[in-house]
Structure 1
């Protein structure tokens, strides 16, 4: 009887060992699959992290190029007075820098100042817009504190003695967004006639198609160069119609400005396209009695 019990125990042990031997390869397979999944997740995370770091880097370069552009502020300091407005509340910050034409030099400069005030310095409307967004987005997301920031600054250029070109660039920080977004407004003001100059005043009729082709060639060349234009795209005809008045004249170039995500994503590319005047001189109204460009 004792021999029988011992035999049963030995058989049971052998069977258990066989089961373990059989189950171990499956466990190894599962562990290997989990390890591969973990490595894949880790690799994907590192890849996304590297992509985000690269985007932050190219974004910084793009913004720095905008901010460090040289203009004619010093040369125009008698005519153009630099103004500032700053307001900080619980949910937002407004930080504006803008040009103000000296009305003591010419009282007609009020036309420029009034236009700028009415169209870009409506503080109450901006505050209401921000607070409405807070109700819609912040409250719905259950966020206790959402801080937005609106920043406006400018570049200004003098062309000969009669044309003033102003670039207003607006930097918007929205709650929950990774990158600030940039928007642009360009103003061209005739100091002699005290009126604003728009596309149709500066360029000849039916010039849009050729100018769009010229702009897209510059963009295409930038994309093919493999530099900071990666992931950019050509300007559509519809967008050109919207932004065709968004240009400044600076030295020997006409420069068109576009908001984020019109020709490039926010983190790469460029905000503007420079066109040498010599390339498009035949499209500029330069045969007037008082030409804008000599």
Structure 2
């Protein structure tokens, strides 16, 4: 600001200089004064230009620094965007892998289901084959054991009396008779079951029918007569115990199906239940009817 004032003062002084006189000394004095003022103005102008340059340079330097900072920030943003793009690509790849894995799991589930169904079918066929092989067999439970007993003669005498047949005829109808060793009978100290194999299935069926009307007696004691059922089928039948209990309570006669389920007559209508779901539906329906009646 002082420099500008000096410059203005110098210019004003130049304007105030009057036309020189004829006197030479005055002329020289005025010229020297003009020279000094010109020099001062030159220095002021030079100083002003220098300061302007410095101020301009500082401004450009600051602007340059800001641009450098912005460039660095932009570079960081680009890096972040690049990383974000890689993350997005990884996510897309992971989604694709998960989809493939899910497809593989679905395929495996289908194959596992097929295998399970195949195994179940094989078990069913084996159970039916075993059932066929044992269709001539009866198991007698609750027959007291005695030392040196003649098991075959004891069974023949009891069956002959039940069917009102000759002992020789019954003897010929029986193929094998023997006691079955059982861990359960040994632990509980119960008499072992007797396995009776007939030459024909018809003999087994006649005994079952007669036993339903009049109990088979051995040594004047009632015994339990059972069909020889494969373990696989017996396990399936355990699931139907709630329905069996309901049928027994309502005095309804039922008959087991070969593999699974049972059939019976209710109100002169034949009903077949061959799945646990069907059993639950049947029992739920009758429970609701009982509630409505009460």
TM score, norm. by length of structure 1: 0.29
User: Based on CA coordinates, which of the two structures has the bigger radius of gyration?
Assistant: 2
- Normalized per residue, the structure richer in helix is 2
